[in-house]
Structure 1
Amino acid sequence: MAASRRTVVILYALHSWTGIVTGLLLFVICFSGAVVVFKNEIDLWANPSLRALPQVAAPAGPDAVLAHLAQRYPGIKPESMTVPNEVTPAWFVFARMPDNPQRMKIAARADNGEIIGEVDSELGQFFRMLHVFLFFGPRWIVGFLGVAMFFLIVSGFVIHRKIIKELFTVRWRKSLRVTGSDLHKSVGVWALGFHLLIAFTGAWLGLAPVFERAYAHVAGASTAGSAMAAVAAERPSSSAAPFSVDRLMAQAKEDMPGLRVKGVTLRNPDRDDAEVGFYGGLDGLLFNNTNLAYRGGQLVRSNDPRVKGFWSQFNGLMEPLHFGDYGGLVLKWLYFLIGMSPALLSLSGTLLWIERRKLRQRSRSGGQHV
């Protein structure tokens, strides 16, 4: 029993100091993560000109958008495009002008591809950048915060072993510290499964790419898709026809049945040997790491999680499970409301630690005067 008690004391100290050291950053990460569930809705709300656009069942193709873009902004270099969806009734094009290195975000009508203009506000993207990168560092920093959050959840559950018995007991008439402590523990247990999911997927998204790059460097792994490029070289090139993103998109859906294109990447789109990529999801599946790329009209890279094995499928599930973008509005509200709880836990935990520290100091001070 003594060893068990000692373990709990050590865990309590580690839990407290981990919370203090990471508390503010975890609050920012968790708060922005809850808000970013509504990224598309926030961007639409912040741009009145987009809210007035009609929703269309069959949007105009990327060729129409690119043609209008070249006419409106001569010399512009498009880099990527996002497809209109059930929330956003517009194409978005990310591009740069030759004399301006800053990337522009330009909206186009979904029905005919006509250019609306530069997007006035990217409030939703602001919250995403805050959540994913904290604005100042690589994504692995947020990954380590996910590990810290996971440890705080597990250690907190171990420390408060009797919380299951007290789950329905909140001492409202006691002091603010006691009531806050009860709420802190209860919320942590009621949302335990969701918190573990968010912590694990956040840690995976931040740290898995680091380990993958390290493994590829050590093992001398070849670049992804080289085998696919060799197979694709046997296919007849379609670059003899005029360059068309519409045609390549249709080809991508034929090469990967069930593909739902969410976005397009462009490299040298004004040349016949342009590289065009398509990324998105698959009908009836949550995987988000589906993509294909064509160069000069030939398929050079492809990632279909359905045939890539367990780890590709596992990796493809992480982002949808973390951001809750695989369901409708009800699921988003659930992610938002429950997602706010770890932010409140990080704040309440810090306040409880400060209050306990003050009590200990007063206790020592009172003992010295006796």
Structure 2
Amino acid sequence: MQARTLRGWGWVHKWSSLVCTLFILLLCLTGLPLIFSHEIEHLTGSEIAAPPMPEGTPHIALDRVAAEAVKAYPGLVPLYFFAEEDLPDLWYVKLDTRVDTDESESRLILSDARTGAVVDVPAFDEGFMSVMYRLHVDLYAGLPGKLFLGFMGLLLVVAIVSGVVLYAPFMRKLRFAEVRRERAPRTRWLDLHNLLGIVTLVWALAVGFTGVINTWADLIFKGWQAEQVAALQAGDTRVLLTADASDAPAADGSLQTAVDRVLAAAPGMAISMIAYPGTLRATPEHVAVILRGDTPLTSRLTQALLVDPASGEVLEASARPWYVTALQLSEPLHFGDYGGLPLKVLWALLDVLTLVVLGSGLYLWLKRGSTEVRG
């Protein structure tokens, strides 16, 4: 029975590995430059930076930034403001012909938060890094491509788990980390495949599983947004700041005042995104403000608040569910973005070792004989 069980696990390991190997190889190869995306942008001079101005120059009101963007692009209206943690003096502003579009033809510009001037029109769909990103994220196939890569990631997890099951009985005959150098090349590669597979086990599981979660991002966020709107319509909300709160700026209908009231209701948080009423990420009557924490960990966790610009009332439509928290933590973990350059170097090293594991597994299958590959 034990031999039959091991043969079953061997079959699972072999076919889950074979089906996903070429795609996981592609993801590992494209993931390497993405780990160092910020460093590459700095070295190539393509890094975005705010125009030089005296330190401490104050930011102008968001309404003025929006007005300057509309002046530069007549006929368009602002949909969103996006803030990057490492670009405190710049706003990404998304524009379209009206607020209730599907945003497929929208335009994204970069505006100076201190003057409102349009600094740049980022070309995210051009260059080497763009190609690497699209191949890594969706194979240039949009949501179907993301879900397909997510399925390949699930197969990788199955291959890793089945490989661990096969590893224990296989290694009973050998010392840990032993590579039988005196044996045939296929045997040496088998030992190396098993050794590196165990060394990279935890990392490969973590990166593989977080990659799967990331492919579901669009569906997860759309579901969360739908929950928030439904909760608001049903009156299932929590009031964080009342309309007549005396310790916050009085509501005057402006975007800046609405955002100031949100920040007063959630001290210690920073702005990640602002959505105008009527857009996909807000409600018809409310400005949606997505806030992030101010620590390396909590900066990846966001809180969505709604504010009525007319009355100034700040609402939390629904608390962040666990699956949204998992998604928000998974992306930086996937790319090793928590610990600066040392962690990125470690991620790159483990990525290269995983490439060797995948390549050796493919070699073992191509050179298979009467004995099946185990481990």
Matched, 1:160 2:163: no
Counterpart of 1:85 in structure 2 is: 85
| Letter of the 1:293 counterpart | L
- Rounded Cα–Cα distance in structure 2 between residues aligned with 1:193 and 1:34: 18
Q: 1:185 aligns with which of 194, 197, 201?
A: 194
Q: Which moved more, 1:59-68 or 1:220-229?
A: 220-229
Q: Which amino acid aligns with 2:207?
A: I
Distance 2:286 2:43 in 1: 34
User: Which residue, out of 332, 337, 340, partners 1:325?
Assistant: 337
1:345 deviates by 3.0
Structure 2 counterpart of 1:367: none
Q: Could you say if the C-alpha distance between residues 204 and 120 of structure 1 is closer, same or farther in structure 2, counting changes exceeding 3 Å?
A: closer
- Whether the 8 Å contact between 1:78 and 1:94 is mirrored in structure 2 is yes
What number of residue pairs does the alignment pair up?
347
Contact preservation (8 Å) 2:301, 2:325: no
Q: 1:40 to 1:9 in 2, by over 3 A?
A: same
Which of 110, 115, 120 lines up with 1:107 in the alignment? Answer: 110
Deviation at 1:153, TM superposition (A): 0.9
Q: Return the offset for 1:150.
A: 1.2
Which amino acid counterpart does residue 331 of structure 1 have in structure 2?
L
Q: CA deviation at 1:11?
A: 1.3
SS in 2 for 1:95: strand
Counterpart residue number, 2:314: 299
Could you say what secondary structure the match of 1:75 adopts? coil
Counterpart Cα distance in 1 of 2:187 and 2:58? 57
1:73 aligns with 73
Q: List runs of 5+ in structure 1 lacking aligned partners.
A: 362-370
* C-alpha distance 351-93 of structure 1, shift in aligned 2 (>3 A): farther
| 1:250 matched residue in structure 2 | 260
- Whole-angstrom distance in 2 between the partners of 1:63 and 1:322: 36
Q: Distance in 1 between matches of 2:58 and 2:354?
A: 39
Between 49-58 and 84-93, report the one with greater CA deviation.
49-58
1:349 aligns with 2:361: yes
Distance in 1 (alpha carbons) for counterparts of 2:51 and 2:364: 49
TM-score, normalization by structure 2: 0.73
Shift of 1:151: 1.0
Q: Quick check: 1:82–1:93 contact (8 Å CA) kept in 2?
A: yes
* Equivalent residue number for residue 156 of structure 2: 149
- Alignment RMSD: 4.3
Aligned partners of 2:261 and 2:314 also within 8 Å = no
1:101 is displaced (CA, Å) by 5.4
Return the alpha-carbon distance in structure 1 between the equivalents of residues 242 and 188 of structure 2: 69
Q: 1:280 to 1:321 in 2, by over 3 A?
A: farther
Query: What secondary structure, in the 3-state scheme, does the structure 2 residue paired with 1:19 have?
Result: helix
- Counterpart of 2:287, as a letter, is V
Amino acid in structure 1 at the alignment position of 2:35: V
Residues 27, 344 of structure 1: 8 Å contact kept: no
- 1:107, 1:213 → 2: CA distance? 25
| Corresponding letter in the other structure for 1:4 | Q
Please, which of 211, 230, 235 is the counterpart of residue 202 of structure 1? 211
Asked if structure 1 preserves the Cα contact closer than 8 Å seen for 2:180 and 2:187, the reply is yes
In 1, distance between residues paired with 2:58 and 2:319? Answer: 25
Spell out the pairing of 1:1-370 with structure 2 (5 A cutoff).
3-42=1-40, 48=46, 50=48, 53-54=51-52, 60=59, 62-86=62-86, 90-96=90-96, 102-109=105-112, 111-122=114-125, 124=129, 126-136=131-141, 137-138=143-144, 139-161=146-168, 162-163=170-171, 166-171=175-180, 176-206=185-215, 223-225=230-232, 230-232=237-239, 235-236=242-243, 241-244=252-255, 246-267=256-277, 275-284=286-295, 285-286=297-298, 287-296=300-309, 297-302=312-317, 305=320, 313-314=325-326, 316-356=328-368, 359=369
- Larger mean CA deviation between 46-55 and 71-80 belongs to 46-55
Q: Which AA in structure 1 matches 2:91? A: W
Between Structure 1 and Structure 2, which shows a larger proportion of helix residues? 1
For residues 50 and 213 of structure 1, do their structure 2 counterparts lie closer, same or farther at Cα, with a shift above 3 Å needed? closer
Per-residue deviation, 1:193: 1.3
The TM-score with structure 1 as length reference comes to 0.73
Assess, with a 3 A threshold, how the Cα gap between structure 1 residues 203 and 117 changes in structure 2: closer, same or farther.
Answer: closer
Q: Structure 1, residues 241-271: CA drift from partner, whole Å, max 9, x if none?
A: 1422x333322222223223223333459xx
Distance 1:292 1:339, change over 3 A: farther
How has the CA–CA distance of structure 1 residues 207 and 71 changed in structure 2, closer, same or farther, with 3 Å as cutoff? closer
Give, in angstroms, the shift of residue 71 of structure 1.
Answer: 2.0
CA distance in 2, matches of 1:233, 1:280: 14
